[in-house]
Amino acid sequence: MKEAGTSFQQMVWKALEKIPSGKVTTYKAIAEHIGSKAMRAVGSAVGKNPYAPDVPCHRVIPSSGKIGNYSAPGGVDKKIELLAKEGVEVRDGWIVKFKEKLYLF
């Protein structure tokens, strides 16, 4: 994988790789981890992630516990499927036992 985009995005993508399988994290957690409070910027960065799905961007969800969105091929449906395979159950767009699956840096 090569350096793409800005250093900001690279930080975000790097953080994504830190997320262990079967766990999920929130945009807010990432934002704080990289020293920014703009979870929007993080969302944009992840959405523009050229490495998807090489990077586990599907393990990132809004702090609401919702599934959020997914730009990679397959869309949200694919995202749910991937998570399900990793042991993260999703019911009607909601993460089951969200707090238990949540991974903080």
Partner DNA sequence: AGCGTGACGAACT
Partner DNA sequence: TAGTTCGCCACGC
Binding residues vs DNA (CB under 7 A): 5-6, 8-9, 26-28, 36-41, 43-49, 52, 57-58, 60, 62-64, 66, 68-72
**Cα angle for residues 40, 78, 105 (degrees, 5° grid):** 45
Catalytic-labelled residue, pool 15, 19, 55, 57: 57
Nearer to DNA, 4 or 97 (CB): 4
CB 86 within 8 A of CB 21: yes
Rounded distance between C-alpha atoms, residue 42 and residue 74, angstroms: 21
Nearer to DNA, 27 or 90 (CB): 27
Q: Active site includes 76? A: no
Catalytic residues, by residue number, are 57
